[in-house]
């Protein structure tokens, strides 16, 4: 059944005034409980999709090649020809164009379509609005044109879109979690073999609270790619003595100590963090399964220390909020989440303590930085899905 637009949509661009959606795709953001910067090192991660989404409305149009996109979030629209897909100066457009390019590389046939995009995902908060957009676009086009792509293939081509069109050499975690998550579960994802196990999110009496620092330092994008390069260079140095090591996933603590003298201080610290974080992910899963949330919280704090001191991707705002949480009894664990240099902290907090903690943390953070943080309660949700109305 098609969806007509309401009175609030009367300000749509002229090309969308007669738009009638054939269906809507709901594509979620994601959180990562633990396992940061390990995905592109073939390690373990523990993410899940959340109940914050991008909505994409799709319809074919009468054109063979012409497409129109409108973002309510940015209040901007753009058009393009399917025969002439190329990178655009506007970054948000490249997430869409990249997905289309990757679909075309699969020799899948597309014709003219229109799409309206709306979102309640905070941009720059580190909850992967970019992956949600990529996966939502891939899922919608797969449905609109009956392309026959499975969910993992769509996640992988969405990742390649970000590599090739946006320039961020991200791992697979964000797209995989957005596309393949299951409600009320976490994903223990092995990024070396792209296999996941669903872990029940046993957090009764607790909430998952994000505190958005509302800062994004200019280092964020460039340093992400730099960290990946540093890890790759560490692997190349390790391979001189241990050629079987294709990635840091193949490196044990014994091997790392054996080659310590051959690595720079930076390479050693990056590798040490990745090895320790992989261990923390596996320990975290055991703690969650047994209900030992106190130990899980300790692992979150340890993860933040590693990200701050060895991987060096934190910032003073993130550190402030994590340190503040340690003085509050209702918070069991906290750490920075995402690429770093801004975005959110993720906190495991007793349900009854949320209101007081948010109030006190917000006041202290505002006093320190003159910024009002954003508090976001999230719940594990299912991945990208179709909504028919």
Q: How far apart are CA 367 and CA 387, in angstroms?
A: 43
pLDDT one-digit tens code per residue, 329-340: 999 999 999 989
Q: Give the pLDDT score at 124.
A: 67
Model confidence band, residue 277 (pLDDT cutoffs 50, 70, 90): very high
Mean pLDDT across the chain: 93
Say what the pLDDT of residue 6 is: 46
CA distance 1 to 386: 13
Beta bridge partners of 58: 23, 115
Q: Contact at 8 Å (CB) between 95 and 134?
A: yes
**Which residues belong to the active site?**
174
How sure is the predictor about 220, in pLDDT bands with cuts at 50, 70 and 90? Answer: low
State how far the Cα of 337 lies from the Cα of 127, in Å rounded to an integer. Answer: 8
Residue 15 binned pLDDT confidence (cut-offs 50, 70, 90):
confident
> What does DSSP assign to residue 389?
-
Residue 128: the pLDDT is 75
- 38-50: pLDDT as tens digits: 999 999 999 999 9
């Amino acid at each position: 059944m098609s969806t007509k637009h309401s009175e609030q949509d009367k300000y749509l661009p002229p090309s969308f005034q007669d738009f009638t959606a054939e269906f809507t795709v709901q594509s979620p953001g994601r959180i990562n409980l633990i396992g940061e910067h390990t995905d592109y090192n073939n390690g373990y991660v523990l993410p899940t999709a959340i109940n914050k989404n991008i909505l994409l409305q799709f319809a074919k149009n009468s054109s063979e090649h012409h497409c129109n996109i409108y973002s309510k979030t940015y209040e901007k629209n753009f058009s393009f020809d399917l025969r002439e897909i190329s990178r655009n100066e506007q970054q948000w457009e490249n997430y869409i164009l990249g997905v289309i390019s990757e679909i075309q590389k699969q020799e899948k046939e597309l014709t003219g379509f229109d799409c309206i995009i709306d979102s309640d995902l905070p941009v720059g908060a580190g909850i992967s609005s970019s992956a949600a957009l990529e996966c939502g676009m891939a899922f919608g086009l797969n449905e609109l044109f009956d392309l026959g792509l499975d969910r993992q293939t769509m996640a992988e081509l969405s990742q390649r879109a970000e590599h090739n069109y946006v320039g961020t050499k991200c791992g697979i975690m964000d797209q995989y979690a957005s596309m393949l998550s299951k409600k009320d579960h976490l994903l223990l994802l092995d990024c070396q073999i792209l296999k996941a196990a669903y872990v029940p999110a046993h957090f009764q009496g607790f909430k998952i609270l994000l505190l958005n620092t509302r800062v994004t330092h200019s280092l964020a994008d460039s340093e992400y790619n730099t960290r990946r390069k540093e890890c790759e260079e560490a692997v190349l140095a390790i391979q001189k003595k241990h050629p079987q090591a294709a990635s840091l996933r193949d490196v044990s603590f014994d091997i790392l100590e054996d080659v310590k003298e051959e690595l720079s201080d930076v390479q050693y610290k990056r590798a040490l963090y990745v090895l320790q974080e992989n261990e923390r992910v596996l320990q975290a899963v055991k703690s969650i399964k047994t209900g030992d949330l106190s130990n899980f919280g300790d692992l979150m704090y340890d993860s933040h220390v590693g990200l701050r001191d060895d991987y060096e991707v934190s910032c003073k705002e993130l550190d402030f909020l994590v340190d503040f949480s340690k003085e509050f009894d209702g918070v069991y664990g906290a750490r920075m989440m995402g690429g770093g240099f801004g975005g959110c902290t993720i906190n495991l907090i007793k349900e009854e303590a949320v209101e007081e903690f948010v109030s006190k943390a917000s006041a202290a953070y505002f006093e320190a930085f003159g910024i009002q943080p954003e508090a976001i309660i999230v719940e594990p949700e299912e991945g990208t899905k179709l909504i028919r109305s």
